[in-house]
Amino acid sequence: MKTDDLIRALAADREPAGPKPGFALFVAAACGFVVSAVLFMWQIGLRPDLLSAMLSFDFMLKPVEMGLLAVAAAILVVRLARPGVPFGRTWLVVAAVPAIMVAALAVELMRVPHAEWLVRLAGAHWYLCVINMVLLAMPILAAVLFGLRYGAPTRPVLAGAMAGLLSGALSATLYISHCPDDSPIFVAAWFTLAIAISTGIGALAGGRLLRW
């Protein structure tokens, strides 16, 4: 075989068999989200004042933050599924979410009396929010890790971490419609903790499940 023919054959073999990684990940994440949504509606449910809460700036800030984080994490997961694909400026979007949280937190701390800080931090049941968000993230994480196996991630720990970040952001987006605590103090503490736990679980799972 001539050298040019060999190069063309190797290039053709670069495309993996089966679904494209991006499509596989989209389907996997969607399926995982549906499972989490069913569990959410079955076991947790919507907050009774959801419609009136949607008129609040603090409430509406939560889906904006979590939505941005989910979109950025999804892009990173897809890129990590393909060897040699650069991240581009997607990290800037990921970094923008903590920046928005810090800005909202600063405004909240300035406008709220010191005596209320701990009350807003604790919320109604902060520990239930963390536990529920982490549990709701697990079906999504499992599905995304399965979808990543249709790709060829060369950094399995990082790919798993980004899968955990995506699942945590989607879980938080879902849980917003139940959580009665809209204070940026509460969100910055406990939503961040839940997403960090999901990210850590994803990193550990990715290191084991995504190695070639």
**Residue 5 falls inside a structural domain:** no
Number of residues written out for the chain:
212
pLDDT digits (tens, 9 = 90+) for 143-161: 999 999 888 888 999 999 9
Instruction: Note whether residue 183 is domain-resident.
Output: yes
**pLDDT at residue 30, rounded to an integer:** 96
Tell me if 2 is assigned to some domain: no
Q: How confident is the model at residue 14 (pLDDT cuts 50, 70, 90)?
A: very low
- Chain CA centroid to CA 63, Å: 12
Number of domains into which the chain is organized: 1
Q: Model's pTM, two decimal places?
A: 0.87
**Measured between alpha carbons, how far is 51 from 49 in angstroms, rounded to an integer?**
6
- Categorize the per-residue pLDDT at 18 as very low, low, confident or very high, splitting at 50, 70 and 90: low
Instruction: Look at residue 37 and tell me if it is in a domain.
Output: yes
Domain assignment present for residue 7? The answer is no
* Residue linked to tokens 């989490």: 36
Sorted by sequence, the CB contacts under 8 Å of residue 137 that are 6+ apart come out as 36, 164, 167, 168, 170, 171, 194, 198
Report yes or no on 129 lying in a domain: yes
Is residue 12 in a domain?
no
Decide which of 32 and 84 is more confident: 32
Rounded Cα distance between 85 and 99, Å, is 26
- pLDDT at site 106: 93
With respect to residue 10, please indicate whether it lies within any of the assigned structural domains: no
Mean pLDDT of the chain: 88
144 neighbors 28 (Cβ within 8 angstroms): yes
Q: Are 162 and 77 in contact (CB under 8 A)?
A: yes
Q: Are 136 and 164 in contact (CB under 8 A)?
A: no
Is the pLDDT assigned to residue 202 strictly greater than 50? yes
Token representation of residue 113:
């009396």
Q: 38 pLDDT exceeds 80?
A: yes
How much is the CA Rg of the chain, to the nearest whole Å? Answer: 20
Domain that holds residue 69: 19-210
Asked if 79 and 85 count as a contact pair (C-beta separation under 8 A), the reply is: yes
Q: Are 167 and 35 in contact (CB under 8 A)?
A: no
Is residue 82 over pLDDT 70? yes
